[in-house]
Amino acid sequence: MNLKELQNGSDIRGVALDLNPEEPVNLTDKEVRALARAFTAWLRKRTGKTDMTIAVGRDSRLSGPALAHAVMDGLVYDGVDVFDTGLSTTPAMFMSTIFDDFDADGAIMLTASHMPANRNGMKFFYKGGGLDSNEIAQVIDIAEREAFNHKPGGSITKSDLMSVYAEHLRNIIREKVDQEAVNPDLPLEELHVVVDAGNGAGGFFVDQVLKPLGANTEGSQFLDPDGHFPNHIPNPENPEAMASLVKAVKDNHADLGIIFDTDVDRSSAVDGNGNPIGRNDIVALASVLAARHHPGMTVVTDSVTSDELGEFLEKHNIHHHRFKRGYKNVINEAKRLNDEGVDAELAIETSGHAAFRENYYLDDGAYLASRIVVEAASHSISDLIASLGHPKAEKELRLKINEKAFKEYGRQVIEDLKAYAAQESSTITLVQPNYEGVRLKFGTDHGDGWALLRMSLHENLLPLNIESKQTEGAKIMARELLEFLEQYPSLDLHQIREFIEE
């Protein structure tokens, strides 16, 4: 087994079904069983405990049941008492280590988020949170060395985790909703919410959270789990998925729309006028909600957030700490700042990963949705972010690196661009502080905006994000960057050329 190729940052991801001849299967019962046993050994070493309870759940993927069975088989063989939670969400799996009803030592979630139907993966949790990339590497090393801890006596108990988790969310909504403005028994009875679960694991939010609190959920769609994902990609960042929710909100004259990804660790929204609230908008909305009882707080975001977002947050007495891509990077940075005494209440990516300090710094799409629902029950969520500006032009271009040592090549391009921008004769300037790639500012006569060139977290790509305050500014900036980038023969520049010629 070549397990290292399955590591995707802080996750395990691979091809689990033979649906695409160009993508051979590399995540089978054998791999997940070995990784589950390795996680047990890792957890025993970390906690010093021999007797273990581990919860196992899955999203709606077609390969989920078989892989979950293999995981549980490996755990039981090593003497673990297993909670089989069935169809679950990723945040609920972490909460199995918190809830008194479970008090699990660890949890394993089988999911590949919004990836195609042939993919699957694993996420691991313990009471301290999700494993980071270094800890995943440790688990892989244990699996490859087969340094397992066989111990007889394991068991499997079928467990309804999602009912406990749904009750947890209902309690949060009841606690936070404006009791003077609503019926305390049915605090959402005046609210019409349309939910799009994308045939993932998020359908529970309608039947187990919203309806019991009195909400009208007519028009909610794609709630039934279906690993074929027949309607659209279950991804709040996908334009077709968001457009589908916008239409549902408008058609049903709803007050609010909520959309989840497959495993519900991400969400975004649509307001009652049919305006999407994603990317910088969802960051702004979540930040204002978090800052309500924490004035002067810090929000940690990924690197592609806009200048307009920074200006908005500053006006709301919120410090913006722009960091790196990768939800674990953002969360870990917020934890680090918090340990240093900074009131970092929120870590959030434009992708919809949002981790509130008060919620264990857990990136939980249903928790974010609950916070938004609470606000929408008595106020307009649109009003909260009405002053957020938006660029006149924006574009993300993905420049492929045709080199085996692509990371070294990409880093050299970035360093060269930094040096170019630092020259006195350059028409662009470096933005500091900056924690990922190179961020550049372009003056009014050169596009009036910013660009970020960075290494992809996992692929042989240099993503290039461009935003401008001018309608044609993004193309002006792209043209200037193209002149610099043409000196690198291993960079595929066709996307930037096509954008300029549009």
Report the alpha-carbon distance of residue 372 to residue 236 in Å, rounded: 15
Peptide bond into 433 cis (omega under 30): yes
The reply to whether 88 belongs to the active site is no
Residues 6 or more apart in contact with residue 265 via CB below 8 angstroms: 89, 90, 91, 113, 327, 353, 363, 364, 365
Helix (H, G, I), strand (E, B) or coil at 458: coil
Distance, CA of 495 to chain centre:
26
d(CA 108, CA 132): 14
Q: How far apart are CA 304 and CA 453, in angstroms?
A: 10
Tokens representing 116 are 């195609």
Determine contact, residues 176/371, Cβ cutoff 8 Å: yes
3-state secondary structure of 394: strand
Closest CA to 190 of 217, 214, 219, 220: 214
Q: Which residue has the tokens 């909504």?
A: 173
User: Of the residues 10, 63, 113, 287, which is catalytic?
Assistant: 113
Helix (H) or strand (E) holding 302: none
Q: How far apart are CA 199 and CA 194, in angstroms?
A: 14
> What residues act catalytically?
113
